[in-house]
């Protein structure tokens, strides 16, 4: 493992600019992968500052690409930086940075969705969940195509305290399309309130810390970019299994413009839907005529607690999927029509 020197002594030597790296290695953003490069080092420095103090920190950067944010992290007094990059075209440029920062930068050519970060850093960094966050940070300019599945994966890791959160309440500073960033922080009653709002906010303190105009990226995306900072809570606001919370929240937001009883009703088989939806809402003390966007995290806490009791009483309930029931009903109707 890299051992850091005296505080603030390391600075990268003069290097080709990010633009020159892109030309040198003939790099082009791949539209299908929703890649966008950030070339302005003043902006990458700003993103890294939003992560908080990185002095002697161990940092995990996802999607480094040509290495703009990577340079800013290396200049922030860190102990070690681990980057995971799936696209082999970026490895030579990152290797150039590694050569310029001996012992500071480790490069893994792999997929962030499957990489086992919990084995990557020293055991000594681990902290109790109730303690202050460990000196471990996740930072990344995420391709838009993976940002939502990745944050959902990491939120599930937060709930299980594994993956990057095996070290404790690891903080994350990540880029998203501005609209997604707004959903992550949206409060009750906001038009942007969504499944992501609840899933993030019941587990983390979530802050939209910076907006970067789309014109700062190459190629320019059609939207601006939001930088969001996550700090896992010492106690989740809903104390139920992640998959159960996810199921209740997903169903609630299925019909976001209709009353909440419509979506929540899909938790139950059609034959008992009206009765059991009424029982769920009454027991949770939730007004059935609220829209999904008007439900608070406390509302979802009550709904999840009551739904859990209902699942405990009926072991088959959690496995119920209304789409499966629709499919079976449709197939049966087709068979009956064919026989008549």
> Is 265 within any annotated ligand binding site?
no
First-to-last CA distance in the chain? 73
- CA-CA distance, 252 to 246, in Å (whole number)? 10
Q: What is the DSSP letter of 211?
A: E
**203 annotated to a ligand binding site:** no
Q: Within 10 Å of residue 139's Cβ, how many Cβ atoms? A: 31
Q: Is 36 annotated as a binding residue?
A: yes
Please list the alpha-helical segments (H only) found in the chain. Answer: 18-24, 41-49, 68-74, 91-100, 144-160, 178-185, 195-201, 242-252, 260-264, 273-284, 297-313, 322-339
Rounded Cα distance between 228 and 222, Å, is: 19
Count of residues making up the chain: 340
331 is in an annotated binding site: no
Contacting residues for 321 by C-beta, under 8 A, at least 6 apart:
none
Contact 169, 129 (CB under 8 A): yes
> What tokens does 297 get?
């995290």
* Measured CA distances, 70 to 29, 84, 108 (Å): 17, 11, 13
Handedness of CA 234, 240, 241, 243 (dihedral sign): negative
Coil, helix or strand at residue 9: coil
Burial class (CB in 10 A: 0-12, 13-18, 19+), 331: exposed
**Quick one: 243 exposed, middle or buried, by C-beta within 10 A (0-12, 13-18, 19+)?**
exposed
Is 85 marked within a binding site? yes
Binding residues for S-adenosyl-L-methionine: 36, 38, 63, 85, 111, 141
Binding residues: 36, 38, 63, 85, 111, 141
């Amino acid at each position: 493992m890299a051992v850091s020197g005296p505080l603030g002594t390391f600075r990268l030597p003069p290097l080709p600019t990010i633009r020159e790296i892109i030309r040198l290695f003939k790099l082009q953003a791949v539209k299908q992968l929703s890649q966008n490069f950030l070339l302005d080092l003043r902006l990458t420095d700003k993103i890294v500052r939003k992560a908080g103090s990185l002095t002697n920190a161990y940092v995990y950067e996802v999607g480094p690409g040509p290495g703009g944010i990577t340079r800013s992290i290396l200049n922030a007094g860190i102990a070690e930086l681990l980057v995971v990059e799936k696209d082999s075209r970026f490895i030579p440029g990152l290797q150039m940075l590694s050569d310029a920062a001996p012992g500071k930068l480790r490069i893994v050519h792999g997929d962030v969705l499957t990489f086992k970060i919990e084995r990557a850093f020293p055991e000594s960094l681990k902290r109790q969940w109730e303690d202050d966050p460990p000196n471990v940070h996740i930072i990344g300019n995420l391709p838009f195509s993976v940002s939502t599945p990745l944050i959902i994966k990491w939120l599930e890791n937060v709930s299980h305290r594994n993956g990057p959160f095996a070290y404790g309440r690891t903080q994350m500073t990540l880029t998203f399309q501005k609209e997604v960033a707004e959903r992550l922080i949206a409060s009750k009653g906001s038009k942007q309130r969504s499944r992501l709002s609840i899933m993030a906010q019941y587990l983390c303190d979530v802050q939209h810390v910076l907006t970067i105009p789309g014109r700062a990226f190459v190629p320019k995306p059609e939207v601006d970019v939001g930088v969001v900072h996550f700090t896992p809570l010492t106690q989740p606001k809903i104390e139920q299994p992640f998959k159960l919370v996810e199921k209740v929240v997903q169903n609630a937001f299925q019909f976001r413009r209709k009353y909440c009883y419509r979506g929540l009703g899909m938790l139950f088989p059609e034959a008992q839907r009206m009765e059991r939806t009424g029982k769920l809402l009454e027991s949770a003390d939730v007004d059935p005529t609220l829209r999904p966007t008007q439900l608070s995290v406390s509302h979802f806490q009550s709904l999840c607690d009551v739904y859990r009791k209902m699942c405990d009483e009926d072991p088959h309930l959690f496995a119920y999927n209304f789409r499966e029931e629709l499919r079976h009903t449709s197939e049966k109707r087709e068979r009956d029509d064919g026989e008549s």
